[in-house]
Amino acid sequence: MATARAGVAGSDARLANPVAASAVELIAEPPLVPLGALHRGRQALSARISLRNVSRRRLEVRLSPATRAAGVVVRIRPDRVVVRPGRARVVGITIRATTRPAGPGALRGAIRAVAGPGARLRIDWSAAVPIDRPPVVTRVALSRSAFAPDDQRPAVLSLVAGRVDGSVERPQLLPLSRLEIELHRGRRRLGTLARLRDVLPGRYAFGVTGRGPRGARLAPGRYLLRVVGVPVGGGRVTRIDLPFRVK
């Protein structure tokens, strides 16, 4: 967590100073504010920061942008709060990008919180700028297009979720906030066979046993698996359909 300390005369920043260490008055949670992803067509991102007073005195905190990327407007609301001892106040930060840099990349900046003479706190923020190219789910394949229900030897649905853009030196991960596998028959949605949240980029495999969402064996006939991938921070949702037949 980010911490603000009151200044201590005669202290040396290169040495551990127990007096200065005890002078921490204000902490920010989170210390690094993730604003999400700035997808194409989106200009603003917002987040909230909790400022906690860990001192024994009342703090009047003033907040202002410390640094910011070019073409970015930063707003803090409220920009002045009073935090009583042992209590916390929540403030909101919104960034608006007048120009969106080419992805993959990031926008970065910081907020300055001043709580009286000598007590200063720097809170960094960042926003990812991904490459907006669908899809976020690729290489989707079903090992067998026709099979009988079998719990011991199921058909295998394999896929690659998310992406890794950029270069080896500066990779940018695009994870999924949600990955779902739905079961359909004709125009009817029968339910969800699997749902994963906060999915890191990588290869995944699922067993398709020939059972429905409630566990019952599927009747013979034609069905469809729909893979749905939702990228973190919004962006275009990927939907891929795979037909199969139950014998």
CATH number at residue 15: 2.60.40.10
> According to the model, what pLDDT value does residue 15 have?
45
Is 144 found in the same domain as 119? no
Q: Is residue 22 domain-shared with residue 78, that is, in the same domain?
A: yes
Query: What single-letter DSSP state applies at residue 247?
Result: -
**Considering 129, 146, 171, which residue would you say is the last residue of a domain?**
129
Quote the tokens at residue 140.
């989707």
pLDDT band at 110 (very low <50, low <70, confident <90, very high): very high
DSSP state of 32: E
| pLDDT, average across residues 112-128 | 85
pLDDT bracket for residue 3 (50, 70, 90): low
The pLDDT tens digits of the residues spanning 4-60 come to: 655 544 444 444 444 344 357 899 999 899 888 887 777 889 999 999 999 888 999
Q: What residue type is assigned to position 176 of the chain?
A: L
* Rounded Cα–Cα distance for residues 92 and 69 (Å): 19
DSSP assignment string, 166-234: E-SSSEEEE-EEEEEEEEEETTEEEEEEEEEEEEPSEEEEEEE-SB-TTSPBPPSEEEEEEEEEEETTS
Of 102, 51, 43, the C-alpha closest to 78 is: 51
The total number of residues shown for the chain amounts to 247
- Whole-model pTM: value is 0.63
**CA dist., res. 130 & res. 35, Å (int):** 13
First to last CA, the chain: 57
Retrieve residue 90's tokens. 């929540």
Domain boundary among 80, 112, 129: 129
Please indicate, yes or no, whether residues 88 and 41 belong to a single structural domain of this protein: yes
* 6 in the same domain as 123: yes
- Of the three residues 79, 106, 129, the one that is the final residue of a domain is 129
The two most distant CA atoms of the chain are separated, in Å, by 82
- Our count of domains for the chain comes to 2
Q: Where are the alpha helices (DSSP H) in the chain?
A: 18-21
Same domain as 232, residue 212: yes
Alpha carbons 129 and 43: distance in angstroms, whole number = 11
98 and 141 both lie in a single domain: no
pLDDT computed for residue 21 by the predictor: 41
pLDDT top residue among 5 and 236? 236
Tens digit of pLDDT for each residue in 129-168?
887 777 899 999 999 999 999 999 999 999 999 988 776 6
One domain for residues 125 and 141: no
101 pLDDT band (50/70/90 cuts)? confident
Regarding whether 55 and 155 lie in a shared domain, the answer is: no
Task: Work out the average pLDDT over 207-226.
Answer: 95
18 phi and psi angles, rounded to 5 deg: -65, -30
Q: 121 and 154 share a domain?
A: no
Residue numbers of the domain that contains 29:
2-129
Q: Are residues 31 and 111 in the same domain?
A: yes
Residues 149, 213 share a domain: yes
Share of the chain above pLDDT 70, in %: 88
Both 122 and 205 in a single domain? no
